[in-house]
Amino acid sequence: MSLVVQKYGGSSLATPELIKSVAARIRSAHDSEGNVVATVSAMGDSTDNLLSIASEISEIPDLRELDVLLSTGELQSCALVAMALKSMGKKAVSLSGAQAGIRTDSSYGKAKIAGVDTGRINEELERGNIVIVAGFQGVTHDSDITTLGRGASDLTAVALAAGLKADRCEIYTDVEGIYTADPRLVSDARKMTQVGFEEMLELASYGAKMNPRSIELGMVFQVPILVA
């Protein structure tokens, strides 16, 4: 039985209908592939809204407390996707970054992943669950919640794929695949069918919508990444 790790961004989860659509795609992957672990970002503009509220409370929010606050955005979408899957008759469980075993240093707001303990995820997969993991977050050795930096749900997905030795990591974006330029802005942008890690890093430096740290991690652990 194969194992696929998927990642869905905030624009894919902005409304209840979109969440149901994502859940249907995950259900389809589970039916065809077997084991599925999906990483999700916060819904729509949730992170920006939380930052705005924090700035109204404090001009310079405490970084530890800010990470606790921002992590709740991914937890919401994580739970909602799991609910949607259960309503479709699938066994599913939502896990925070800490529950999923994402271990980090204590650099609040830009934490680095120190390791991934896949024990809990493997237990849930053995129980027949689809596992939905809150992206963008982890936990320190002191059990403090951390966030990994903006756009880091990609990094969560690749780290999980590496730790679980998944067959591939699928990154779903609002543009299907990787192009030589943004096809919404450049009419003759070409879709690239296969891209090496080095070339993807270069494209990311020019604005391609994939976290450079996730590409670097994928290169180190040779994780096959599908951008769709």
Domain presence at residue 70: yes
Interval 158-173: pLDDT, tens: 999 999 999 999 999 8
Say whether 82 sits in a helix, a strand or coil.
helix
Is the residue at 188 inside a domain? no
- Please, which residues bridge with residue 36 across strands? 4
Residue 198 lies in a domain: no
CATH at residue 165: 3.40.1160.10
Cβ-count burial 125-153 (b if 16+ within 10 Å, e if not): beeebbbbbbbbbbbbeeebbbbbeebbb
pTM for the full predicted model: 0.90
CA nearest 146: which of 97, 187, 185?
97
DSSP tag of 12: G
Contacts of 94 (CB under 8 A, 6+ apart): 75, 78, 79, 81, 82, 132, 133, 134
Which tokens belong to 97?
């970054």
State how beta strands 130-134 and 137-139 pair.
Answer: unpaired
Please, what is the average pLDDT of the chain? Answer: 91
Provide the residue range defining the domain that includes 9.
2-173
Q: Looking at residue 187, what is its pLDDT?
A: 61
Q: Quick check: is 206 in a domain?
A: no
Asked if the structure places residue 207 within a domain, the reply is: no
In a domain, 211, yes or no: no
d(CA 109, CA 32): 37
Per-residue pLDDT band for 185 (boundaries 50, 70, 90) equals low
Tokens of 75: 């937890």
> Residue 227 falls within a domain, yes or no?
no
pLDDT computed for residue 210 by the predictor: 72
Q: Is the pLDDT of residue 97 over 80?
A: yes
Distance separating alpha carbons of residues 132 and 82, to the nearest angstrom: 6
CB 86 within 8 A of CB 76: no
Question: What total number of domains does the chain contain?
Answer: 1
DSSP state of 88: T
Higher pLDDT, 12 or 190: 12
| Rounded percentage of the chain residues whose pLDDT exceeds 90 | 77
Q: pLDDT tens for residues 134-158?
A: 999 999 999 999 999 988 999 999 9
Residue 210 lies in a domain: no
Q: Which residue bears the tokens 């027949």? A: 128
